Chain A
Amino acid sequence: MNHPVCIIDDDDDVREVMSFALEYEGIQSIPFASAMQAEAYLSNLTPDYLPSLIFVDFMMPEMDGLEFINLMRKKYPDTLGRIPMVLSTARLAEDTDVMPAGIVKLEKPIDLDHFIRIAKEHYSPLEKHASVS
């Protein structure tokens, strides 16, 4: 059992193929179609089961990726807020020039090798995951 990688993206195809790519690298992932769904699910997890990494899309209805990250950090500073977050974006580079500290940006179209490298760096077996808490 591993700490999964979480993928939040409103585009069904993108979400599916991101999950699929990770699956073939032996990385378990949980996909969400919206930031709200992700929060509802993640906020109910005990710290031991938190994901090791969250990929979140910037442009999404209702709550965008940046709002999600900021909300997690504010509302759950000791749990969800501490998970490394990667913001994926298809917008112009200029639009996302200024990023709050500690957020990694992943440009769309996504380079698969780069994406998998990031996921692998953070993916950790559940037992060894004590560092998050």
Chain B
Amino acid sequence: MKVSNKMNLPLDGLNLESLMETLFYREEFLSIASHELKTPLTSIKLQTQVFRRNSKKEKNTSYSKEKVDRLVDQIDIQSTRLIKIIDDMLDISRIRTGQLVMTKTKFNLSEVVEELLPAQISSKIESNIFINGDRERIIQAMSVILNNAARYGRGLPIKVRLVQRKTKIIFSVQDQGYGISPEDQKRIFQRFQRAVPASEVSGIGLGLFIANEIVESHNGKIIVKSEIGQGSTFKVNFKREESL
């Protein structure tokens, strides 16, 4: 559907179709954000209300230490989940205003990746690969890709690699999960874009957008190869600097 620009607004390069699309995704985003924020809050609020209801009673039950520990742990975990979502939202607003600043230092990327990996993951990490970059931000970008492999990997084993070539450093994560169709492979790097129904795997669709932004700020590139039903490989390529 192409619609002419009857109002003569300065819409160079824009059309109604893409505006409608933006609006649609904004609506969709609100709906997803509502679910993603309210689910951890539901858990937190229920835990605290359970405590309060109990302490209001004249003859209150004393919960076992295990039970209390568990409830408190859950509140903590759910709060962390909320903080993570808020941090992502803050990051996209930083990106929009050009305030996502990279503080670069030389560090051992191999050690960082080793530390990031859960024990049971099969990996091939070449040691002593150095990079000049923002350590925390690079960890953040790699975590997005690793977590996605776990979340969309249907519980099947994933493979992680970190290798160095003449001109580049390659970090790759391969899963055997749902896979991503060719059309979706382009879309998922944009803000709020998701390729799974919100009810299947929860998420707000900001991870790859932020990861891509971080990688590009290091003159790197994220490449995805995937086939529906077979799995996906996300590769992060960094240029190898001679001096390192």
- Within the complex, the shortest CB–CB distance from A96 to chain B, in Å, comes to 10
A90 touches B45 (CB 8 A): no
Residues of chain A within 8 A (CB-CB) of B61 are 24
Residue ID in chain B nearest A88 by CB atoms: B42
Q: Determine if B46 and A17 form an interchain contact, defined as CB atoms under 8 angstroms apart.
A: yes
How extensive is the interface on chain A, given as a class?
20 to 34
User: Contacting B43 at CB < 8 Å: which of A11, A61, A92, A113?
Assistant: A11
A64 to B34, CA, bound (A): 17
Interface of A is mostly: loop
Q: Is A21 an interface residue (CB 8 A)?
A: yes
B75 closest partner in A (C-beta): A13
Number of A-B contacts (CB under 8 A): 72
Considering only residues 89-133 of chain A, those with a C-beta below 8 Å from chain B are 90-92, 95, 108-113, 116
Count the B residues whose beta carbon is within 8 Å of the partner chain — how many?
27
CB distance from A47 to the nearest CB of B (A): 31
Q: Is the CB of B35 within 8 A of A14?
A: no
Q: Is the CB of B39 within 8 A of A17?
A: no
Select A21's contact among B50, B67, B77, B200, beta carbons within 8 Å. Answer: B50
- Complex interface: chain B residues within 8 A of A61 (CB): 199-201
Q: B34 near A14 (CB under 8 angstroms)?
A: no
Among B41, B77, B199, contact of A59 (Cβ-Cβ < 8 Å): B199
Known: A61-B201, A113-B49. 19 other contacts (CB 8 A): A11-B43, A17-B43, A17-B74, A18-B46, A20-B71, A21-B53, A24-B54, A59-B198, A60-B199, A61-B199, A90-B38, A90-B39, A90-B42, A108-B39, A109-B45, A110-B45, A111-B49, A112-B49, A112-B53
